[in-house]
Amino acid sequence: MNVLDMFSLKGKVALITGGYGLYGSQMTEALAEAGAVVITASRSLEKNEKYAEELRARGLEVYGESYDQGDESSILDMKKRILDRFGTVDVLVNNSVMRGNFKGGFFGDIEGFTKSLAINGSGFFAVTRAFGQIMEEKKSGSIINIGSYMGSLGSNQTLYKDTNGQMGGWGGADYFYHKGGMHNFTRFLAAYYGQFNVRCNCLALGGLFNNQHPAFVEEYSRATFLGRMANDEDVKGIVVYLASDASLYTTGTVIPVDGGYSAK
C-alpha cells in the first residue's frame, strides 16, 4: 500500500467527544479531512451541530450528537443512536473533560472533586467500554485518549509567577489525578484490546495558545524546545496517524505533543 493511502480514513466512522472545543475542533476537522465520517458529541447538541454544519458546508461529513458523560444510560443511548444511523464506530477519541469544578485550590470542596471524577474518570471508562465493545466484536479499531503533560509531570508554579494572580495557584489537583490515571489506563486498554486487534494510545498534549496572560505565554514558551505554545493545527497530523492504518503496529503508547516541554 502506498504510504499516503495508509493515512486515509475513507470508509471509517469516528466518534470524538468534546469535538467542538479548542483542541477538539482541530481533531474533528482533521479526521473529516482525512475522509472519515465524524460524530462530535458532548452535552450540548446545539454547539456540536453548529460546528458540524460549518464543516459540512466545506463538503466534510461531520454530525453532532449529545450525551451526558456522567450518566452511563445516556452513553448507551447515544451508542444505540450512532449504530442505528452509521452502523459502526472505527475510531473513538476520548477528548471530553470537565475542568474547574474542583474550586478552592488543594483544600477545595471534596464534592467538587468527586463530581469531576465521575465525568473524567468513571465517565471516560464507561464511554471507552461502550464503544470499545463495537471494535472488539469486529476485531479492528483505534481508541485515542486525550491526555496532558499534567498526567506525567508535577505542577510547575513558575509558569504563573508574573501573572498577578490571574493564573495559577494550587487548583487543578483533580485534573492531574485524572490525566495520570488516563495515561496508565491507556496501557491497560492496549493490553485488553490487543487480543482483539484494537489499538489504544494516548496523546499527552501541551499548552494551546488561547490569549492567555502574556507573562504565562512567555514563560511557557521558554519552557519548550520549540519556543512556543501549540497552535490550532498542531494536533491534526498525530490524531490522523493514530486513527489510521499508518499506526497498525502502535499501541499502548503515551505520546507527548508539547513542543518538547516534557523532554526538558
**pLDDT number for residue 169:** 75
Average pLDDT, the chain: 95
Q: Compute the Cα dihedral for 243, 247, 250, 253 and give only its sign.
A: negative
C-alpha span between 14 and 110 (Å, rounded): 35
Whether 120 and 146 have beta carbons less than 8 Å apart is answered as no
Tell me: pLDDT of 80 over 90.
Answer: yes
What grid cell was written down for 129? 467500554
SS (H, E, C) 49-97: HHHHHHHHCCCCCEEEEECCCCCHHHHHHHHHHHHHHHCCCCEEEECCC
**pLDDT number for residue 238:** 98
**pLDDT number for residue 155:** 92
Tell me: pLDDT of 260 over 80.
Answer: yes
**pLDDT number for residue 34:** 98
**pLDDT number for residue 32:** 98
Mean local confidence (pLDDT), 211-228: 97
**pLDDT number for residue 172:** 87
pLDDT digits (tens, 9 = 90+) for 95-127: 999 876 777 778 888 998 999 999 999 999 999
**pLDDT number for residue 107:** 86
Mean local confidence (pLDDT), 231-256: 98
Whether 28 and 3 have beta carbons less than 8 Å apart is answered as no
pTM: 0.96
Whether 18 and 97 have beta carbons less than 8 Å apart is answered as yes
DSSP assignment of 195-231:
TTTEEEEEEEE-PBPSS--HHHHHHHHHTSSSSS-B-
**pLDDT number for residue 76:** 98
Closest of 54, 146, 46, 132 to residue 96, by C-alpha: 146
Domain residue ranges of the chain, discontinuous segments joined by +: 3-156+175-211+231-257
Range 3-156+175-211+231-257 has CATH code 3.40.50.2020: no
**pLDDT number for residue 216:** 96
**pLDDT number for residue 103:** 74
pLDDT digits (tens, 9 = 90+) for 130-181: 999 999 999 999 999 999 999 999 999 999 999 988 888 787 889 999 999 9
**pLDDT number for residue 99:** 77
Whether 176 and 150 have beta carbons less than 8 Å apart is answered as yes
**pLDDT number for residue 182:** 98
Percent of the chain with pLDDT over 90: 90
Contacts of 20 (CB under 8 A, 6+ apart): 28, 40, 42, 47, 48, 50, 51
